[in-house]
Amino acid sequence: MGCTITSQQKFKSNNVNMQLLSSLEDNKKFYSAQQFEREKKACTLYHALGYPSIPDIKAIIRMNMITNNPITIKDVNLAERIFGPDIGTIKGKTTRRKPIPVVDDMIEIPSELVPVQEDVTLTLDGITVNSLTFLTTISKHLFYCTTHYMPSTMAESYHAAIEDVISVYRMGVSRW
């Protein structure tokens, strides 16, 4: 029982797939204003309880675990019909999908390219992400980007990071 704007229904008719969307306004037309207010209260209770499953919230109401609760199981059922499933709850309870495997996509540098690109101009920038400092570089004509974590902002740390970046470029040249 969500408090969202749309719910979906899928139909298959004469080998034609259709998907019909119904909005909250469309669903609201079939119920009185008093019923709609009760369903909003059921949604408020649902959110206040920390988004339990629908069978759990029905069990809580059926066992009278909340004193002086005006919400009934019928209100929960109607709220589920009007508002549809709660998108935040669905997203929050779904499992993480398997990530795409990392593929080593290193390519060989053509031997003709090395003498032409021997003089590399680097642009440097320091960035901070979530209070962590990084040194980023981009080579001017190769557009090769590097990022190096900076444990401190002292000059020695930056010097060591720049030497690491330069060694990466030297490794590319030394292969030829």
pLDDT at res. 5? 36
Confirm if 141 and 117 have CB atoms less than 8 A apart. yes
pLDDT at res. 144? 84
Confirm if 150 and 157 have CB atoms less than 8 A apart. yes
CA distances, 103 to each of 13, 31, 106 (Å): 43, 55, 9
pTM reported for the whole predicted model? 0.41
Give the residue ranges of the chain where pLDDT is below 50.
2-11, 176
Give the list of residues 6+ apart from residue 114 with CB closer than 8 angstroms, or none: 172, 173, 176
pLDDT single digits (tens) 103-114: 877 677 777 777
pLDDT at res. 20? 56
